[in-house]
Every structure is written in C-alpha cells, then in structure tokens.
Amino acid sequence: MEHPAALAGPPIGWRDLERVLVVRPDNLGDVLMAGPALRALRRAAPDARLDLLAALAGAAAARLLPEVDGVLTCSVSWQEAGPGEVPVAADLDLIDRVRHGGYGAAVVLTSFSQTPWPAGYLCRLAGVPVRVGMSKEFGGAGLTHWVPSPPDGLHQVDRALHLLERVGVPPVDGRLRVRVPAEAVGAARDLLGDRGPTGSYALILPGASCPARRYPAGRFARVAGLLATSGLRIVVAGTAKEAALVAEVAGDTPGVTALAGELDVPALAAVVAGARVVVCNNSGGAHLAAALGTPVVVLFSGTEQVGQYLPRFAPASVLTVPTGCAPCRQFRCPYALECLDLPPERVVAEAVRLAAPGRSQDPYDGSREGRGIDSLSG
C-alpha cells in the first residue's frame, strides 16, 4: 500500500498552465536524459513556457533540447558536497528568481539517490502553487504532488517519465533527441578540417565528472594509439580543465588530434554526430552519442548501476568489470579502480566492431535515429 500522503494533490490542469519550471540542476548527461520528460510535458502543456532550472554544466545542454524555452542557471545548495559552498544569499536570490518567473507548476526531476524536497520547498517559498517530485521519503508541504519512488534500478529516462505519468502526463517516447545548431556543425567542421581528420574518425572523450568514473589516462592513450593503426583518424576532446588529460591521451601519436577547451557543448555534439564511434566513460558524452545515434563504447565504472544510465537506441557496448564494491557512489575510488580494469585491446576491439562499415559514411545525412541537425550545409 502507498503512503497516505502519496499523490494527495488534486488533478493538475496541465493544458491551462502558462509557465512550467523543470528542476534538474545536474550534469550534461542528466539534462539530456530529461529530454523525453520535457517532450511529454510539451505535449501535455502545449501553450506553456517551459524553463529549466539547471547548473552551469547542464545549462549548456539545454541549448540542444528544442522543448526548453529558457534556462535559470544556478548553483543549488542541496547538491553541493560541501555545506558552505553555496551561501544562503544564493538560495534567497534563487527564490526571488523563481518567484519572478511566475510559474504555475514546478517539476523536480531527481535520480534515485537525490531528494526533491529542498527544491520543492524553495519553490513553495517562491510561490509556485503546484510542485511535483518523487522520492522514497516523505517531506510534508514542500511538494503538493509527491510520487513514491519506483525501483532504484529504473533507467533515468524511465524514472522521469514514471513521475510524470503518475501526475497525468503520458509519455511520448523514451528516445533522447537533440538539435545540433547549424553554426555548431560549421564550427566543428572548421576545427576538424584545420587539425586533420576530414574523413571518418573515432572520438575519445577521456573526462568524467569525478576520478572514480575515469578510465586511466595511460590506458586511454593506448586505446588511441591502437585505434590509430586501425585506419581511423582519432580525435581526443575535453574541456579546458581537462587539457592535461587530453594531452596525455593524445600524446604525439600520428593521426591523433587533441581538442581541449575548443568545443562548447553544441560543437561537441556536432563532433559526436560526425564520429564513426565514440569511446568514453559513463559521462555526458555517452548520452550525447545515444541522442545522436552514434555508436559508443562506454567504459562504465562501478560507481553507478549500469541499467540506470545505459545508452539506448544507438549501437552501444558497455564495458565494466563486476566487483563486490559496486555500485559504490564514490567520487574517488578507495581501492584500485578494479571495475575499470579493462585491457585497451578489448576496448579497441569493441570500437572497431562498432565503427565497421555498413553505417552511413556521411555523418550529417540525418539518417540515424534521434538526430536533429538544423542545417547540413557546411
């Protein structure tokens, strides 16, 4: 039996709403996986403005989601590991910004280990009358529509759709879809053209949000070297903060191009779209590949359950080593990262298999599922 407070709120008139706030202050991949929920909301509330409350990393991804009308970028205190990292004044300022938005409803999306209650309470203080969220624990008036959690192992996309379905928003579909702006395609082509790869290439993304999710740089370098001998050109990309990592992985291997800090998220999406195969950690790159239909090899550390983050609707190979300590939810591995003890040769074999001919050779021909590119002209 469900908790007596579960779904105690009245039916929500989604069609009549003028402004809806979706709360997802997380990383790139989390925002991409919110796409199907946003699509469902767009259909349920066709005339509403849909804004996303996002962290800096996720706000960049929102530019790829056609359903998002605007973004409130912020750091939220309830997501920080250090209690003093977001001052109280920032919370108060966020209340003002949400109040100023005049939202008729807020939908708080969370993973199984996050709580929607602080966000719900903040929206209550900001005067948002309808507040929807899902969790195991009950938290009183922070949410007007509290949905008890489904099983922990549910995929992140399905988890968000489950929440909406319980409050009268039917799903449209569970596919990730992104729209890559034409200027991003042009920027990616310019970059790749200048640096060498003008034909088919494999894209290596060695970064991840925390060390416990990163396949060792030395092994990534070995993957790059071996892949370079397979006939594919190699692009190694990362953020400006990952410059040293990108340089270490790229090394001075002929045929390997290093791009650190040169791609914003839309341009990264264009480079992912053009790749024959992506090799990456459990990170935003894997979800970009899934959204763009690009084959992807994911080196999946045991920090999370595979089923929650599995790339779907794109050819994917998820490699991990089962360990007794997984899922550990650690930022830094207290052991020796045994869950990513994967031989580079095995990684390369999967990448070569997924990159095999038979798929479209024109990366921008729009034939892959999930793809949306504004313009194909270079």
Binding site for ligand SF4 (CB under 6 A): 212, 301-303, 323, 325-326, 328, 330, 333-335, 337-339
Size of the chain in residues: 378
Is the CB of 95 or the CB of 328 nearer to ligand SF4?
328
Q: Please report how many Cα atoms fall inside a 13 Å half-sphere around the Cα of residue 185, on the Cβ side.
A: 18
CB of 329 to ligand SF4, least distance (A): 8
Q: CA-CA distance, 97 to 246, in Å (whole number)?
A: 38
Q: Is residue 106 a contact partner of residue 21, using CB atoms and an 8 Å limit?
A: yes
CB of 204 to ligand SF4, least distance (A): 21
Q: What DSSP string describes 51-114?
A: EEEE-HHHHHHHTT-TT--EEEE---GGG-SSTTSS-HHHHHHHHHHHHHHT-SEEEE---TTS
Pick the closer one to ligand SF4 by CB: 123 or 326: 326
User: By C-beta, is 115 or 330 nearer to ligand SF4?
Assistant: 330
- Work out how close the CB of 310 gets to ligand SF4 at its nearest, in angstroms, rounded to a whole number: 17
For residue 214, the minimal CB distance to ligand SF4 (Å) is 10
Gap between the Cα atoms of 200 and 220, Å rounded: 19
Query: Among residues 69 and 338, whose Cβ is nearest to ligand SF4?
Result: 338
C-beta of 6 vs 217, nearer to ligand SF4: 217
For 212, how many CA atoms within 13 A lie in the half-sphere containing its CB?
14
Distance set, CA 31 to CA 37, 54, 135, 268 (Å): 10, 8, 19, 15
Shortest Å distance, C-beta 337 to ligand SF4: 5
Q: What are phi and psi of 32, to 5 degrees?
A: -60, -40
User: Closest approach of Cβ 213 to ligand SF4, in Å?
Assistant: 8
Q: Which is nearer to ligand SF4, 149 or 320 (CB)?
A: 320
